Structure 1
Amino acid sequence: MTTSRARSFEALSGARALGWLATVPPGAGAAVMATGIVSVGLHLTGRAVLSGIALGVAAALWVLLAVAFAVRLLTDRAGWVAASANPPALTAVAATCVLGTRLSLFGSQRTALALLALSALAWPWLLLSVLRHFRRPEPGAAFLVCVATEALAVLAATLALAGQGDWLAWAALVVCLLGVLLYVEALLRFDFRQVLTGHGDQWIAAGALAISALAAAKLTASPLWTGSGHGVLRDFTLVLLGLDMAWYAVLAVCEVVRPRPRYDLRRWSTVFPLGMSAVASLTAAQAARVRWLHGLGSVLLWIAVAAWLYVAAGFTARVAGGRRRGAAGSA
Structure 2
Amino acid sequence: MRPPPTEHPPFSPSLPVGVRLGGLAGMSPANFGMVMATGIVSLAAHMLGHGALAHALFLLNNVLFGVLCVLTLLRIVRYPRLFFSDMSDHLRGPGCFTTVAACAILACQYMVLLGDTHMGTILWAAALTLWFGFTYAIFTVLTVKREKPGLERGINGGWLLAVVATQSIAVSSVLLAATSQQPYRLELNFLALSMWLWGGMLYIWLMALIFYRYTYFRLSPDDLTPPYWINMGAMAISTLAGSLLISRSADAPYLISLQPFLKGFTIFYWATGTWWIPMLLLLGVWRYAYKRFPLRYDALYWGAVFPLGMYAACTEQMNQAMGFRFLAPVPGIFFYLALGAWALAFLGLLAQLVRGRRAA
TM-score by length of 1: 0.87
In 2, the alpha carbon distance for the partners of 1:226 and 1:93 equals: 26
Residues 1:194 and 1:322: Cα distance change in structure 2 (over 3 Å): farther
Aligned to 1:173: 193
User: Match for 2:271 among 228, 242, 245?
Assistant: 242
Q: Which runs of 5+ in 2 are unaligned?
A: 1-21, 144-148
In 1, the alpha carbon distance for the partners of 2:279 and 2:227 equals: 14
Q: 1:213 and 2:239 equivalent?
A: yes
Q: Which runs of 5+ in 1 are unaligned?
A: 1-18, 327-331
SS of 2:356's equivalent in the other structure is helix
User: Match for 2:325 among 284, 291, 298?
Assistant: 291
SS of 1:258's equivalent in the other structure is helix
Alpha-carbon distance, 1:109 to partner? 0.9
Residues 1:52 and 1:325: Cα distance change in structure 2 (over 3 Å): same
Q: Percent identity?
A: 29
* Structure with greater helix share of residues: 1
Residues 1:21 and 1:110: Cα distance change in structure 2 (over 3 Å): farther
Aligned to 2:357: 323
Please list, as runs of the form range in 1=range in 2, the aligned pairs for 1:114-129 lying within 5 A after superposition: 114-129=122-137
In 1, the alpha carbon distance for the partners of 2:305 and 2:209 equals: 23
SS of 2:99's equivalent in the other structure is helix
More off after superposition, 290-299 vs 56-65: 290-299
In 2, the alpha carbon distance for the partners of 1:319 and 1:101 equals: 29
In 1, the alpha carbon distance for the partners of 2:63 and 2:105 equals: 14
In 1, are the aligned partners of 2:42 and 2:58 still within 8 Å (CA)? yes
In 1, are the aligned partners of 2:245 and 2:255 still within 8 Å (CA)? no
More off after superposition, 292-301 vs 126-135: 126-135
Q: 1:198 and 2:224 equivalent?
A: yes
Please list, as runs of the form range in 1=range in 2, the aligned pairs for 1:259-278 lying within 5 A after superposition: 259=288, 260=293, 261-278=295-312
Alpha-carbon distance, 1:228 to partner? 4.8
In 2, the alpha carbon distance for the partners of 1:220 and 1:194 equals: 40
Alpha-carbon distance, 1:258 to partner? 2.5
Q: 1:44 and 2:64 equivalent?
A: no
Q: 1:230 and 2:259 equivalent?
A: yes
In 1, the alpha carbon distance for the partners of 2:219 and 2:57 equals: 30
In 2, are the aligned partners of 1:200 and 1:264 still within 8 Å (CA)? no
Alpha-carbon distance, 1:130 to partner? 2.3
More off after superposition, 306-315 vs 126-135: 126-135
The C-alpha deviation readout for 1:254-293, integer Å capped at 9, x for no partner, is: 2223325322221100000111111110111101221233
Q: 1:158 and 2:184 equivalent?
A: no
TM-score by length of 2: 0.81
User: Match for 1:182 among 189, 202, 207?
Assistant: 202
Q: 1:143 and 2:192 equivalent?
A: no
SS of 1:46's equivalent in the other structure is coil
Alpha-carbon distance, 1:102 to partner? 1.2
In 1, are the aligned partners of 2:224 and 2:287 still within 8 Å (CA)? no
The C-alpha deviation readout for 1:135-180, integer Å capped at 9, x for no partner, is: 6340111101111111111100111233452321111000111111
Q: 1:84 and 2:87 equivalent?
A: yes
1:213 aligned partner, one-letter code: T
In 2, the alpha carbon distance for the partners of 1:203 and 1:194 equals: 16
Q: 1:279 and 2:313 equivalent?
A: yes
Query: Where in structure 1 do 4 or more consecutive aligned residues deviate above 4 Å?
Result: 19-23, 193-197, 225-228
2:105 aligned partner, one-letter code: V
- The root-mean-square deviation of aligned C-alpha atoms, in Å, is 2.0
Aligned to 2:280: 251
Aligned to 2:112: 105
